[in-house]
Structure 1
Amino acid sequence: MPVTTLDPATALVVIDLQNGVMGAPGTPYSTADVLERTVRLADAFRARDLPVVLVRVTHAADDADAVPGRTEAPRQAGARPEGWDRIVDALAGHPGDIVVTKRNWSAFYGTDLDLQLRRRGVTQIVLTGIATSIGVESTARAAHEHGYHVTLATDAMTDLSEEAHRNSVERIFPRLGETGGTQDVLKLLAER
């Protein structure tokens, strides 16, 4: 389903566009392209006094707050470089933005994201970020479960795997909300 409308109280939620994530290769879009499109969206939301939420993921240096449980995937060992969890400069530094720190895939679990959105009367979110099939999809699922209208700017997100990105965009996202491109969202914002 294409993007049809934006509620009067719509927020942009940006997943993990931070220093330590931006260095990863993105597919099908480069991380630089995702950042450029997200910056355009953030500027448009700010110009209309709509909330911009910058979500970052972090972990304690000793992994004391790492998510428990057995997985087949190995955990990243060792300390991460200084500043790896800082929001990229192109998005950071706007005093009205909301910064949410997560320690899981979803930006809702264990954070105050829902509270921050509800305090502002937000009924819809537009999602961008990295990685499509992990942080973005987990947040989209939780937003849907929390009763938000979900819009996914699919050209403003990317993944480590094109197959995983495609699966999220083609099979999962249409069940959670509306999908479209950055230009679709910008057009609807311009019509407000």
Structure 2
Amino acid sequence: MTQALNLDLAKTALVVVDVQKGIVGYDNIAPIDGQTLVARNNELADAFAAAGATVVLVRVRNTGREGFNPLTDAPHAAAKPTDESFTELALDVKDNQDADVVIVDKHNWGAFYGTDLDTQLRRRGIDTVVLTGIASSIGVDTTAREAAQAGYNVVFVPEAMTDLSLRAHEFVTEVIFPRLGKSRTVAEVLAAVK
């Protein structure tokens, strides 16, 4: 049995990684589809915003000259040309004028390197990040490692994550994430926020 989650919302931010229209529409994601991913993340983001906590919406802008294009053996889906709708955020919380919503544009796998995310969190006194998003094994995992290395406490919500590979999702959620922080269900996080 997992220990109840206690969050100091003045020091906690929900960080939603790459839940954007150009990615949630992929048909090969697992374990949950894009519609379920958006619904669960909207529920979490709305709860954090209603409680006065910080919500960070991270989006990858990975096209053209700013694209992350390493020399790899595997095809790199994000390197394909896309239009601006690719980066459009899929969550509704961005429209809440009263919420503390931070939008971070990243050009790499993680949300910290090459962005102002760390500065934005530290200025708000944040010491804990609650991570969700897509892909569990890429953007979320890299952001989690960067957060842990920067001294943040990390809470994962695997039910609000999905991936381009079920095997990769299962590996990071079962093997890597327990070494970096705590994993909790959507219901457990919502209970800690309300």
TM-score, normalisation: structure 1: 0.91
Equivalent pairs counted in the alignment come to 188
Identity across matched positions, percent: 44
* Structure with higher helix content: 2
- The alpha carbon displacement at 1:74 in A equals 3.0
**Residue matched to 1:167:** 171
2:46 to 39, 43, 47: 43
Structure 2: runs of 5 or more not aligned: none
Question: Residues of 1 paired with 2:40 and 2:174: CA distance?
Answer: 20
RMSD between aligned residues: 1.7
Question: Residues of 2 paired with 1:36 and 1:112: CA distance?
Answer: 27
Aligned partners of 1:151 and 1:178 also within 8 Å: yes
Structure 1: runs of 5 or more not aligned: none
CA-to-partner distance for each residue in 1:141-182, whole Å, 9 max, x for gaps?
Answer: 111111111000110000111111000100000000000111
Amino acid at match of 2:96: H
Indicate the SS of the match to 2:84: coil
- 2:109 matched to 1:108? no
Aligned partners of 2:144 and 2:180 also within 8 Å: yes
The within-5 A match list for 1:125-164 is 125-164=129-168
Indicate the SS of the match to 1:97: strand
Question: Residues of 1 paired with 2:145 and 2:185: CA distance?
Answer: 19
Aligned partners of 1:3 and 1:151 also within 8 Å: no
Amino acid at match of 2:68: V
- The alpha carbon displacement at 1:66 in A equals 2.3
**Residue matched to 1:24:** 26
Over 3 Å counting, the alpha-carbon distance change for 1:66 and 1:81 in structure 2 is closer
Question: Residues of 2 paired with 1:53 and 1:124: CA distance?
Answer: 12
